[in-house]
Amino acid sequence: MVDEVNMILEMRKEDAAILLRHFRWNKERLIEDYMDNPPKVLEAAGLGPSSKSPARLEAIPGFMCDICCEDEEGLKSFAMKCGHRYCVDCYRQYLTQKIREEGEAARIQCPAEGCHRIIDAPSLDLLVTHDLAARYQELLNRTYVEDKDILKWCPAPDCENAVECAIKKKDLDKVVPTVACLCGNRFCFGCILNDHQPAPCELVKRWLKKCADDSETANWISANTKECPKCNSTIEKNGGCNHMTCRKCKHEFCWMCMGLWSEHGTSWYNCNRFEEKSGTDARDAQARSRVSLERYLHYYNRYANHEQSARLDKDIYTKTEKKMVQLQTASGMSWIEVQYLNSASQALQTCRQTLKWTYAFAFYLARNNLTEIFEDNQKDLELAVEALSEMFEKPIAELADTKLKVDIMDKTAYCNRRRIILLEDTADNLANGRWTFNVDLKSITPNASSGVNSRG
């Protein structure tokens, strides 16, 4: 790309590279803007008006370095084309600090105050040690990935790969752009989180936030509180009798039947009146407000369960891994013959990951004709995964049984197949806008209010 620009615009390669970086590697825009007004573009990119002489170190008579104030005869100095000249030592130390300590590369400016000229690679090579220049190059490469929207670093620890994916931000409500790095890590290109198919990024963000805010609190609220029938404040009954007085609205009611206390007559401490109208109404309202909470907990508990089970499956696998070795010696199976356990473990992990997110997805899904198919697919996969998980937990002696081995292999293949079917079906409907959600996928409002009022 640098070569192309260098040819079209007839400039030095290193200048072309700086320009490209300034334009975030958008070649077309660079050329267009440059043709319009070359000096302006050069100035903005930190290239300024240039003279022709190549970069070199010089000893200029009577020179004094403005940084260290040294002025001895024969002091070697350097200046970029902006003409701001400093001694080699100062220049070197400046660059070293920028690169080593600040991790800066593409935007290192001339050391002069107010001069925005960017240092280019040949000048740098002239001034610094070899390994520093290498570090500089590495940082430059990094900016190439960071500047370009279609490239992202693989988030796996110690993985140095970048992954390319041409997905546009505005399409994230239609596609869940899951990518697999060469290192084996699968992640979402849209938000860099782990693979969260089939749920779109926006739902994932909301879900994670909601869970972080609510789940534990919500569980507790659900188990220990009721809402005031009049003002809906959440109330914890911390002891005492059934005659409740809401702290907020002073409404008096019975904890048992939720009806008006005034209707209780003299049956204090003993609520046996379930027929009065006010009580039924209040319980209805209570029930409705509970439903949304219960609904959330329904999905959350299943989501959390798969997350936990995936962890447990993994633990079992680490143990199994050791047993695989024993199995090899005990039953005379070869290494390749025990690999079916490995595939089973991997299938369990990926399928549980998918199942987990189907529950977050379902939480936001509004009911329509397609949701039933979705739920069927979900159920199918879930049953298969649980069955496989059970087989997988069998003691080592039974694992050696050929029948079980075949069963596990069959189930593994089945799980993988069901997962693909579920994902393809969901993705297809998503791309064609056939799902309806009870939240807006486009809006980037960070606070989707959760509907749980935890302070009474």
Partner 1 sequence: MSSSQKRISKELQECMTTPPTGMTISLPSESNLHTWAVKLIGPPGSPYAGGSFNLSVVLPPDYPFKAPLVTFATRIYHPNVTNDSAGSICLGMLKAENWKPASRVRAVLDAIRQLLIEPNPDDPLEARIADEFRGAPREFEKNARSYVARYASGKK
Q: Does 309 bind partner 1 (CB under 8 A)?
A: no
**The one among 89, 149, 195, 213 contacting partner 1 by CB under 8 A:** 89
Residue with smaller CB distance to partner 1, 109 or 242: 109
Triad 225, 274, 278: Cα angle to 5°: 75
Which string of DSSP letters, residue by residue, matches 137-200? Answer: HHHHHHHHHHH-TTEEE--STT---EEE----GGGTTT---EEE-TTS-EEETTT-SB--TTS-
Q: Residue 118 pairs with which residues in a beta bridge? A: 109
Residue with smaller CB distance to partner 1, 3 or 72: 72
Instruction: Determine whether 165 is an active site residue.
Output: no
Q: Does 90 bind partner 1 (CB under 8 A)?
A: yes
Which string of DSSP letters, residue by residue, matches 202-240? Answer: HHHHHHHHHHHHHHHHHHHHHHHEEE-TTT--EEE--SS
Show the site string, 17-56: x = touches partner 1 by CB under 8 A, - = not: ----------------------------------------
261-295: b (≥16 Cβ within 10 Å) or e:
beebeeeeeebeeeeeebbeebbeebeebeeebee
DSSP E strands, 344-437:
none
- Residue 98 CB, nearest approach to partner 1 (Å): 9
Residue with smaller CB distance to partner 1, 70 or 407: 70
- Residue 25 CB, nearest approach to partner 1 (Å): 22
Task: State the Cα–Cα distance between residues 389 and 47, nearest whole angstrom.
Answer: 62
Site residue total, partner 1 (CB under 8 A): 21
Residue with smaller CB distance to partner 1, 46 or 198: 46
Which residues ranging from 317 to 356 are in contact with partner 1 (CB under 8 A)? none
- Residue 111 CB, nearest approach to partner 1 (Å): 5
Candidates 9-17, 45-53, 96-104, 149-157 — which segment interacts with partner 1 by CB under 8 A?
Answer: 96-104
Total residue length of the chain: 456
Q: Does 129 bind partner 1 (CB under 8 A)?
A: no
Residue with smaller CB distance to partner 1, 10 or 72: 72
Candidates 8-16, 102-110, 137-145, 266-274 — which segment interacts with partner 1 by CB under 8 A?
Answer: 102-110
φ, ψ (nearest 5 deg) of residue 417: -65, -45
Which residues ranging from 59 to 88 are in contact with partner 1 (CB under 8 A)? 66-70, 84, 86
Is residue 229 within 8 A of residue 258, CB to CB? The reply is yes
Candidates 14-22, 105-113, 180-188, 374-382 — which segment interacts with partner 1 by CB under 8 A?
Answer: 105-113
Residue reference for tokens 């003299």: 266
- Write down the catalytic residue from 68, 87, 201, 241: 241
Tokens for 102? 């600040």
- Residue 304 CB, nearest approach to partner 1 (Å): 41
Taken in order 28, 30, 34, 40, the sign of the CA dihedral is: positive
What amino acid positions are annotated as catalytic residues?
241
Interface ranges with partner 1 (CB under 8 A): 66-70, 84, 86, 89-90, 93-94, 97, 102, 104, 109-115
